[in-house]
Amino acid sequence: MSKPWILLTPSTRGISHSLLHHLLRTTPSTLPILATARCPNLPPSYPKSDRLHVVNLDVKDESTIQSAAEQASKLFPPKTHHLHLALTLPGILLTPPEKSISQVTEPNLLETLRVNTLGPVLLMKHFSPFLPKKSTNIEPVKGLPPHATWLSVSARVGSTTDNRLGGWYSYRLSKSALNSAIKTLDLELSQKSASKSIAVGYHPGTVKTDLSRDFWDGVPDEKLFSPDDAAQKLWNVIANLNTTQRGKIWDWKGEEVPP
């Protein structure tokens, strides 16, 4: 029987940091977690646990992604282990977001794409091979979906159908491209893994993190979430997804974000 493990990247701030604490509280104590950090100096609130393994990873540097994957292979040999849950949350929003095409600058556009699109795709490249194959013998894990799940945090503004206001060129483009990558990865997984693994995207809403700080004032209190609330909502959604919902983008209410 293949042994499961969890990937969380990044893990030191915002939703991802709250997710790390949530995973350690709510998943089986024997389930190992591979968490990533961009710098060696972890925050004082970073938890300590025998089942937690922390590795260096910067999504703008593929060599660090490859190195982290190599360390994962040593910790969790693919012949005996499989990646059961991948939570990938890298993202930036350079402010102010563009209101007009004339405000787009090459540096901001490239930086946004590097972090929001290229980084997550490179994570897929190096870590999705750890997901179970059709032949992998897996069994249910208490508190986790029965199928392996690759989740990338996206955003509603990546929806072309839902684009009613325009603007936000760099951020919107980066998330639209990410959504396309999520769907494409899921199609590949459906060939390699059948129903044993799926890929989905997730829109967390507006969360009180540095990324959205400039926009808190315009959000109703009931739609402005703390990182802990956002982590719980993400978990509620992912825990209840089934294989018919694969390849799509879901929001914090469990509703589909249109393509």
pLDDT of 215 higher than 80: no
Task: Supply the CATH number for residue 86's domain.
Answer: 3.40.50.720
Task: Answer yes or no: are the C-beta atoms of 234 and 14 closer than 8 Å.
Answer: no
pLDDT of 214 higher than 90: no
∠ CA 87-91-93, rounded to 5°: 155
Q: What is the pLDDT of residue 120?
A: 98
User: What range defines the domain where residue 95 resides?
Assistant: 77-257
Evaluate whether residue 49 is within a structural domain: no
pLDDT of 218 higher than 80: no
Question: How far apart (Å, rounded) are the C-alpha atoms in residues 154 and 27?
Answer: 24
Evaluate whether residue 7 is within a structural domain: no
Evaluate whether residue 22 is within a structural domain: no
Question: How far apart (Å, rounded) are the C-alpha atoms in residues 88 and 60?
Answer: 14
Q: Total structural domains in the chain?
A: 1
Task: Answer yes or no: are the C-beta atoms of 156 and 171 closer than 8 Å.
Answer: no
Q: Which DSSP string corresponds to 79-127?
A: TTEEEEEEEE------SSPPSSGGG--HHHHHHHHIIIIIHHHHHHHHH
pTM here?
0.96
Q: What average pLDDT does the chain have?
A: 96
24: nearest Cα among 43, 57, 41, 46? 46
Evaluate whether residue 15 is within a structural domain: no
Evaluate whether residue 138 is within a structural domain: yes
Evaluate whether residue 60 is within a structural domain: no
Query: Which has the minimum average pLDDT: 160-169, 179-188, 209-218?
Result: 209-218
Mean pLDDT along residues 115-142: 96
Evaluate whether residue 61 is within a structural domain: no
Evaluate whether residue 28 is within a structural domain: no
Q: How many CB atoms lie within 10 A of CB 231?
A: 24
